[in-house]
Amino acid sequence: MAKNAKERSTKIEVVEPLGKRVLIRKDEDKKETKGGIALPDKIEIPTITGRIVTISAQVENDEDFPIKQYDKVLFNPKNAIPVDFEADNQLFVVPVEDLVAVFRRQS
């Protein structure tokens, strides 16, 4: 029995959003202004950008949403649901309607 419990605790968990949602790793809040002024630890400039980690099957198959894994996006955090999955990452499940923009490089 102990072996099975140990095996279960070492399995990698996967977070797969359902419906019209995506999983986003939020960018770290800024600790310095653009001008180079360091901010005190308790003050941060909030960011609402991040990278798409996973896209639900429903969104992936919808041509109205031209996004893919690893895209950098701007999102409205109002309906974002935090995922307590990895201590060092800020992961959020976000409704695709709350994606405001995707950052693309011009070719």
Q: Provide the residue ranges of all domains of the chain, joining segments of one domain with +.
A: 19-103
What pLDDT is stored for residue 42 in this prediction? 66
What pLDDT is stored for residue 105 in this prediction? 86
What pLDDT is stored for residue 74 in this prediction? 93
What pLDDT is stored for residue 33 in this prediction? 67
DSSP notation for 80-99: -EEE-S-TTS-EEEEEGGGE
What pLDDT is stored for residue 15 in this prediction? 82
Report DSSP state, residue 57.
H
What pLDDT is stored for residue 44 in this prediction? 58
Pairwise CA distance, residues 42 & 24, whole Å: 24
On whether the 19-103 domain is CATH 2.30.33.40, my answer is yes
The model's pTM is 0.72
Instruction: Point out the residues of the chain with pLDDT beneath 50.
Output: 1
